[in-house]
Amino acid sequence: MQALLLSLALTSSAFAFHEHGQSRKSLSFGPILPHAQFIVNPSSSSLAATTTPGAVDADPRQVAIAFVNELNAQFAQDGHSYWVREDSYTDPASGVSHFYFRQLVRDFEVADGNINVNVYNGKVISYGDSFYKGDAFIFDFDDLSYKHSTSQHTYCDQLGQRYFELQALSFNNGQQTPLVGAQINQMTQIIDANCDTSRHRAQLEKIKAAHKDELRSPAHAALLFMVSASPDASLSREITDNFQTYLSQISVQNEVHFAGSDASGSQFSRSVDYLHNVPGTVSPVKARLAYVQSPTEDGKTELVLVWKLEVEMHNNWYEAAVSLVDPTVIVEVVDWASDAGATPERLGGTYNVWKWGLNDPECGERSIENSPYDEVASPLGWHSLPASKDAKSRNRRYASDHILNVTQTYGNNVYAHEDWEGRNEWLDNYRPDGGKNLNFNYTYDLKTKNGSWADPKSYINTTITQLFYTTNMVHDLYYRYGFDELSGNFQQYNFGKGGKENDAVIANAQDGSGYNNANFMTPPDGQNGRMRMYTWNVHGFPYRDGDLEAGIVIHELSHGLSTRLTGGPADSGCLGWGESGGMGEGWGDFLATTIRSTEDYSDYSMGSWAANETDGIRNYVYSTNMTINPSTYHTLDKGGYWGVHAIGEVWAEILWVVSNKLIKKHGWSSTLFPPVPDANGKVPEDNDFYRPATYDATGKPKRLVPKHGNSLIVQLVLDGMKLQPCRPGFFEARDAIIQADDILTGGENFCLLWKAFAKRGLGVDATVTGRTPWGGGVRKDGHAVPHQCTSDKH
Ligand SMILES: *[C@@H]1O[C@H](CO)[C@@H](O)[C@H](O)[C@H]1NC(C)=O
Ligand SMILES: *[C@@H]1O[C@H](CO)[C@@H](O)[C@H](O)[C@H]1NC(C)=O
Ligand SMILES: *[C@@H]1O[C@H](CO)[C@@H](O)[C@H](O)[C@H]1NC(C)=O
Ligand SMILES: *[C@@H]1O[C@H](CO)[C@@H](O)[C@H](O)[C@H]1NC(C)=O
Ligand SMILES: *[C@@H]1O[C@H](CO)[C@@H](O)[C@H](O)[C@H]1NC(C)=O
Ligand SMILES: *[C@@H]1O[C@H](CO)[C@@H](O)[C@H](O)[C@H]1NC(C)=O
């Protein structure tokens, strides 16, 4: 079986979904926890009685802690505890507090034991819970016979079995149906990307035997992980052949990090090892001991002690769980890389670009845009930042409060530059310089004088200017809808508004490490996000530059948005695989489509300019017309829907349908940017963006509500991301959006939203069973809506 599978070409894709995909190996799997749940409006039983003494102004932190303590009676037992994560925050716009609890069992972190509690007006309005519910047993470090109930091996075995069933089916029928063919094709990609470790099996067993007594060091775990994770087969072989040599080169440095406060209120710290010189990596590997949960056959979960590793490589950034007792076993792995990113004086800039809203060069001409930054989102403009926060100036001597005025394409939100060599180094890469007037005005000629296609390098100045512009616009737009410093956005400097700093987006234009794609790596808050944009050569030569297609850039940047907002800014492992990984793709397509859409309704495709294909690179164009795009929840069961991009396409389509229902009811806003408040922080009353201000009983102004359907859906989608639990499925994400509307508008769109979701199969009676980390399972479309929505009045 392996020989057959391995002989197939590596075709895993990134932004692109079918044939254009460029090969990037990406491991991605882990358990679907059977007990994980998301509950909206938890019933007011004993829980509410103890946690809501009726006080709207009760300390939300105390409310959340009391709630979690009551929810988990097991804390009364020995060995169970938690800590309140430091990245918890109260959203200043919505007033909702988001608390993130991480579980502790016998003082070990349970890395996938999460409770997110959303508190509003002194009450818990929803929560997600994936805490381990079993006994706090003492892990038997010496039980070498321990068998992992789920791991890479069990997932790959299952997948291999299904693969052969399907093969047999298609051979028996004498001919392959297109659907079965598509499914086999996708499974092949997943197998290639995730299951080729077995070629090293024999060597790994040998190393295991030879190193029996010291196997539990983090260096062993990291090195063995690299054997599986390296996309370079010769490096894997090098490591297995010279294991001892590589091991002796690794040096370990330990640091203790403050993590938050635990159940008893005392401070909780985590010990992290930094492993230097691990081959195939580009920065020290971080390792910490933790538990992860593993589903067993009886429907429960057990705890497995692992090394949690953070491994930054050239094309991947992994968070992996490697078994402590048998470090040749990878229990779960998430790739943070996702494919297909007193007001001081500030400086404007002048950019010759395809203006915001124009998706690509075929949608219109370039124009000169003056000072396009949003003053609220970018108080220093796009080109200034404190010298102490500039990655390029760190070693220079400036006063600590010195504000640098940069004349190149970088600033507080993004460092945009060429990366033709496709390297990881970026600080000193070429950036155009707009001079003291910040005038970025360059020529763009798609053809050379003699009529041949121009090498994209010849218009690199235009490309970088466009990438800098689009990335900053996305930063500013998402900021205005609440992706701010506290909730983990990407900025070098946070203006004292909370969250972690030094994490602007690194944007590589015309990145030489690939073609026909794009990708984004999202580490936790406080570390730079990294976006790589490629040129497209589907006609055999590079002739279109993905940097110039705003939809692709927006898709990539939206990975950063959804990853940081789901499950809290410090957890980048919440959208790894399956439905949650798919939605990670879908939000990007949906937001890109919403940003380009116009008042007159139209269907839209993704990537059609870069790929030079009318219908783009997804299976269907986004359309409210069921004939043109028939995707429903049940579509995920079909052949060909085993990858995150296909799953995401269905999610984006459902959101597109929901969005257009809202537009039908509330109309369409010509801009998605809210008006800038005046010096007193007041939005001008005569704006056409928000509904008229309203006030609560105490005379306090309530949160402003976007008036139109397209702006409202953007707000609900972002608010929903903050409410939903780590590793959400479609149901949880839907519920979170409906709850977001409840908080923002008092639930006036409750029935509209349910009806729209139900139209595409996500009604109250939709069901799913048997999901795997990648896809599959059995889904039933549900078209029913809550009983209060069944009358025609709504
Ligand atoms: C940066 O520009 C601002 C606005 O023009 C100006 O007030 C400030 O002095 C400049 N800073 C430096 C270091 O040039
Ligand atoms: C931009 O460049 C074009 C052609 O080089 C020139 O005609 C135009 O005046 C310039 N605009 C600005 C604002 O510099
Ligand atoms: C056209 O010009 C480009 C560079 O401007 C050159 O590389 C190419 O060889 C030329 N082609 C022909 C047919 O002359
Ligand atoms: C980019 O702009 C700079 C400065 O205007 C110029 O020197 C350089 O030749 C340009 N690069 C290309 C490839 O046109
Ligand atoms: C893009 O596609 C059109 C239509 O198929 C074709 O005429 C054109 O030559 C293509 N562009 C390139 C650069 O190949
Ligand atoms: C939906 O699309 C089909 C196929 O293009 C078309 O025949 C039909 O009229 C469309 N329906 C609506 C309501 O526009």
Give the mutation target among 620, 622, 626, 627 for probing the ligand 6 site: most ligand atoms within 8 A of CB. Answer: 627
Protein residue with least CA distance to atom 5, ligand 3: 448
Nearest ligand to residue 627 Cα: 6
pLDDT at 9: 24
Protein residue with least CA distance to atom 14, ligand 6: 625
Q: How far is the CA of 618 from the centre of ligand 6 (A)?
A: 20
Produce one character per residue of 589-624: b if its CB has 16 or more CB atoms within 10 Å, e if not: bbbbbbbbbeeeeebbbbbbbbbeeeebbbbbbbbb
Q: Is residue 36 within 6 Å of ligand 1 at its C-beta?
A: no
Q: Is 556 a residue of the active site?
A: yes
pLDDT at 446: 86
User: Do 197 and 27 contact (CB within 8 A), yes or no?
Assistant: no
Tell me, which fold does domain 37-129 have in CATH?
A: Nuclear Transport Factor 2; Chain: A, (3.10.450)
Protein residue with least CA distance to atom 11, ligand 5: 612
Residue 743 to residue 739: CA distance in whole angstroms: 6
Protein residue with least CA distance to atom 11, ligand 6: 625
Q: Is residue 49 within 6 Å of ligand 6 at its C-beta?
A: no
Place of tokens 């950063």: 560
Q: Is residue 497 within 6 Å of ligand 5 at its C-beta?
A: no
Q: How far is the CA of 65 from the centre of ligand 6 (A)?
A: 53
Nearest ligand to residue 451 Cα: 3
Protein residue with least CA distance to atom 7, ligand 5: 612
Q: Give the number of the atom of ligand 2 that is nearest the alpha carbon of residue 442.
A: 2
> Which stretches in the chain have pLDDT values below 50?
1-14, 16-22, 45-53, 341-343, 794
Which residue in the list 485, 556, 649, 653 is annotated as catalytic? 556
* CATH 3.10.450 residue window(s) in the chain: 37-129
Nearest ligand to residue 458 Cα: 4
* CATH 1.10.390.10 residue window(s) in the chain: 633-671+705-789
Which contacts of 357-365 are long-range, i.e. CB under 8 A and separated by 24 or more positions? 357/595, 357/596, 357/598, 358/550, 358/596, 359/549, 359/550, 359/551, 359/592, 359/596, 359/609, 360/548, 360/549, 360/550, 360/551, 360/609, 360/610, 361/444, 361/446, 361/548, 361/609, 362/609, 363/596
Q: Which CATH architecture has domain 633-671+705-789?
A: Orthogonal Bundle (1.10)
Tell me, which fold does domain 350-542 have in CATH?
A: Elastase; domain 1 (3.10.170)
| Distance set, CA 651 to CA 352, 645, 730, 752 (Å) | 35, 10, 8, 18
Task: Show binding-site residues.
Answer: 339, 555, 559, 585
User: Do 324 and 146 contact (CB within 8 A), yes or no?
Assistant: no
Q: How far is the CA of 612 from the centre of ligand 5 (A)?
A: 6
Q: How far is the CA of 62 from the centre of ligand 4 (A)?
A: 58
Q: Give the number of the atom of ligand 2 that is nearest the alpha carbon of residue 352.
A: 1
For 476, the token pair is 């500013």
Q: Give the number of the atom of ligand 5 that is nearest the alpha carbon of residue 612.
A: 1
Q: How far is the CA of 139 from the centre of ligand 3 (A)?
A: 69
Q: Is residue 434 within 6 Å of ligand 4 at its C-beta?
A: no
pLDDT at 174: 60
* CATH 3.10.170.10 residue window(s) in the chain: 350-542
Residue 759 to residue 753: CA distance in whole angstroms: 10
pLDDT at 40: 94
List ligand 3's pocket residues with C-beta within 6 A: 448, 450, 452
For 571, the token pair is 């957890």
Contact partners, residue 571, CB within 8 Å, separation at least 6: 85, 87, 100, 114, 524, 726
Q: How far is the CA of 443 from the centre of ligand 3 (A)?
A: 19
Q: Give the number of the atom of ligand 6 that is nearest the alpha carbon of residue 626.
A: 1
Task: Show binding-site residues for Zn(2+).
Answer: 339, 555, 559, 585
Nearest ligand to residue 536 Cα: 5
Q: How far is the CA of 759 from the centre of ligand 1 (A)?
A: 55
Q: Give the number of the atom of ligand 3 that is nearest the alpha carbon of residue 452.
A: 1
Protein residue with least CA distance to atom 7, ligand 1: 345
pLDDT at 22: 41
